[in-house]
A and B are shown apart, each in its own frame.
Chain A
Amino acid sequence: MGPSRVLHLMNPIRHEFITSCLSEGTSQPQTSSPTNTNKNNNLHYLDVGCGGGIFAESLARTIPSSSSSNSNHPQTPTQAASITAIDPTTTLIKIARDHARTDPKVDAHLRSGRFVYKNCTLEDIVAQQKQGEPETTPGKYDVVTLFEVLEHIDTNATSSPLSFLTNCLRVLRPGGWLIGSTISRSLPSFLVNQVIAEAPWPIGVVPRGTHEWRKFVNPGELEGWVQEGLMRSSDGAAERAGSEALQGMRWKCAGVMYFPGLGWRLVDGSEDWGNYFWAVRKGV
């Protein structure tokens, strides 16, 4: 059993957390009305740091296929209509593309363009969006996902978690969700991720240097960053946005724990201990 098994087991919880966020509203007005007649999937996803595509491929699988007439396909829990998955590592994108070919449904989505793997950075996406548009143009994605990415981001002159989160929020539509998961910086997470998981074989499951404990992010810090990011992302060329950028914002956080033999479970209050999911909704 490799490290990917534990990650694969976390994947259903990602879907459930996304579903719980979407139940509070989305950036697509018609789906939030109670007398909803349009039951189709209409959310466009951006998966940042998709890696080997564990999450991206599973989300692509929930997109209704073109052959089944979209109108009578019931809405799926994640409401996905398309997904763009990006990762700067070329080998990972290649692995992800190769794996996607082993599922004809996912393969068809890749061919039709409803599912796209891009070997690029988040900054490339932001730059693409800006081309020929005023700087304050809202993004085009309804949901941006950031699973197990934040704890790998360096802090230096050109990059920081704050600037990264700001870019994520830039490509997000008003009312959309930025959803992620990461690990908090605590004694238990140090023992689990640094001492046990990176121990030599047969105890350890991930290569040495996979995680750097000092890069782990606590929920409180993260909430501060996304608020700052929301304000910065709505900054225009001329004026600076203030706290009005935070109006209508919604912050969610839920801790998860892994129980060998059982899998991942949501555990209230455990977000300060180790792995946790977090989400922020941009004000409409």
Chain B
Amino acid sequence: MRPIPRSALRPYVCPSCRSSRTLGRRRFASQSDQVPDIYDVVCVGGGPAGLGLLAALRASPVTSNLRVALIETQDLQKARSWKLDSHQFSNRVSSLTPASVSFLQRIGAWEHLDTDRTLPYQEMQVWDGETDSRISFDWSMETSPFEDLRTVATMTENSNLVQALLARIAESGDENISIFSNTTVSSIENGADLIEGPDLSAWPVLSLAPTGLAPSSATPPRIAARLLVGADGINSPVRRFADIQTDGWDYNRHGIVATLSLADLETPTFPVGTRTAYQRFLPSLGGPIALLPLPGNHATLVWSTTVENAAYLKSLPPKAFIAMVNAAFRLSMPDLKYMMRMEQPATTSASETPHEDELSWRVQHTEFSRVPPMVTGVQEGSVASFPLRFRHASTYISPRVALVGDAAHVIHPLAGQGLNLGLGDVASLSKSIEYSVNHGMDVGDLLSLEHYTADRWATNAKIGGACDVLHKLYNVPGQNPVAWARSFGLDVIDRLPFVKAFLMRNAEG
């Protein structure tokens, strides 16, 4: 824990003990005695989690009078004016669970979302590439035949969500809110005991600096935070300031993302318009491949695989890349492993690339069912990759500090839960801030914050841990007891409606 006066740790020191300690000494005072600008909540990081927290605080009449600030390194003006053609999609897409959607509706952000660009899907097909055992997730056992299938999740571009949250915050007016865009936090330290003013020796004081072109006169140099929220990602400077330990490892895997276009379905869906997400585990290639539906005949790809495979896939020309994606949903493991090592000819003169030839030949000799429609195109410039990691902070709180989103936890993307956990964090934190304000508590006090960490830590550990176990289980290649056991488990779950319904309710959040 960072060095702070004992007075900040009030719950653990009784008044009689505190009085004997030397309080308010200026050991941690900064170089400047000038009074910092004082805010109730300062959020570092303007991603979906940070913006979600701000929007939630502005939406509640109880917390809308709090003085809040947001600090973001990127240019938020670009995020506000983000626009893409209706047939183009960003490659950073998240599947929002119904719990996340209802949170966004509650804080009034959903109506600012461009819903023409979002897509709810009602069914999920998950199968094992090694043994072909399969599980399908939909709400058919809980909905009557006369109504439409319930939504499993809603695909939403992160940029669309960020834009909606910014619009929601703008709608709340500009009183008591400061947004520092294009601004970095150059340092965080404990404040000073001001002789002619309050004792801020346990308050985090941030020094801000403009990035690039922002006019330096508009930025106040120092701001103090009653509650400093770290929504600043995996390498969170706020977490470092609070001296909160984080546990974790790198998966040695990369996630490949891309925006794809699909051929028409051969058979119509029932009920009409049902959209499906597909995920196939490829134990020999290092992780699952998932194809998640977007509006129209579009889909987004998330393929978790080894670093070498990821580099190979990214080096392929579009046609070969498409062939590999189609192969990954259809061919057997040995075929795929072979195709993953094929030489790419220097000249692409032939109308069909070797990967396409290989796929069309091998697919004739493979049996498969319920696979996604053939991928026909990849949006230019949408293929990208990112490293997969697991991180979990030992706690989410410290006096006057709370961590949310990736600053608190980073998980394997195979269940698409990362952003949902972040939104769950801010829903919980904004609720406990509201409770504290209503009950005269200091929102930065550990007593106020302990509700938040108690509410979220175990939940996030459970979901992150489940994703980690699935990753490990589905990285054992070949036919062996592990593969049989996991397939047996999947088959059993698929046949027991109540177990499946329990799992789905858990995933729903």
Contact = CB atoms under 8 A, between A and B. Distances in A.
B15 A15 contact: no
A78 B438 CA distance: 9
Contacts of A102: 7-8, 198-203
B503 interface: no
B462 interface: no
Contact of A103 (B16, B23, B62, B442): B442
B438 A2 contact: no
Contacts of A51: 15
B266 to A, nearest CB: 57
B245 to A, nearest CB: 22
B350 interface: no
A59 B15 contact: no
B337 to A, nearest CB: 52
A61 B65 CA distance: 13
A104 B440 contact: no
A73 B176 CA distance: 12
A14 to B, nearest CB: 9
Contacts of A57: 440
Contact of B441 (A12, A73, A92, A95): A12
Contacts of A77: 438-439
Given A102-B198, A104-B197, A104-B198, A74 B440 contact: no
Given A2-B13, A5-B12, A107-B197, A76 B438 contact: yes
B202 A2 contact: no
A53 B438 CA distance: 18
A16 B442 contact: no
B65 A74 contact: yes
B215 interface: no
Contact of A4 (B11, B24, B199): B11
B18 interface: yes
B447 A61 contact: no
A8 B198 contact: no
B12 A15 contact: no
Contact of A11 (B61, B176, B439): B439
Interface residues of B, number: 35
**Residue with the greatest number of chain A CB neighbours at <10 A, chosen from B18, B24, B435:** B18
B116 to A, nearest CB: 36
Contacts of A30: none
Interface in B1-47: 7-8, 10-19, 23-24, 38
A62 interface: yes
A104 B65 contact: no
B10 A8 contact: yes
Nearest to A101: B199
Nearest to A96: B15
Q: Interface size for chain A: under 10, 10 to 19, 20 to 34, or 35 or more residues?
A: 35 or more
Contact of A15 (B197, B202, B438): B438
A46 B390 CA distance: 53
Interface in B120-151: none
Contact of B11 (A8, A92, A103): A8
Nearest to A58: B440
A103 B10 CA distance: 13
- Chain A: interface secondary structure? helix
Given A9-B447, A15-B438, A15-B440, A107 B15 contact: no
Contact of B61 (A9, A74, A207): A74
B200 A15 contact: no
Contacts of A76: 438
Interface string A87-118: 00001101100110111100110000000000
Contacts of B13: 2, 4
Contacts of B11: 1-2, 4-5, 8
A11 B441 contact: yes
A2 B61 contact: no
B437 to A, nearest CB: 8
B7 A2 contact: no
Contact of A58 (B16, B38, B197, B439): B439
B12 A99 contact: no
Contacts of A92: 15
A74 B63 CA distance: 10
B439 A12 contact: yes
Contacts of A269: none
Contact of B200 (A58, A95, A104, A207): A104
A4 B13 CA distance: 8
A1 B16 CA distance: 13
Contact of B447 (A8, A16, A52, A98): A8
A104 B38 contact: yes
For A1, A95, A104, the residue with the greatest tally of chain B CB atoms inside 10 Å of its CB is A104
Contact of B23 (A62, A64, A98): A98
B29 to A, nearest CB: 14
A280 to B, nearest CB: 22
Contact of B19 (A8, A78, A95, A108): A95
A209 to B, nearest CB: 13
A1 B447 CA distance: 12
Given A92-B15, A95-B19, A61 B440 contact: yes
Contacts of B198: 101-104, 107-108
A4 B441 contact: no
A3 B17 CA distance: 11
A120 B10 CA distance: 25
Interface in B193-239: 197-203, 224, 226
Given A61-B442, A74-B65, A98-B199, 12 more contacts: A2-B12, A4-B10, A8-B10, A15-B438, A58-B439, A76-B438, A94-B19, A98-B7, A98-B23, A99-B10, A101-B198, A104-B200
13 contacts: A1-B12, A3-B14, A4-B15, A5-B12, A11-B441, A15-B440, A58-B439, A58-B440, A64-B65, A99-B7, A101-B24, A102-B7, A102-B201
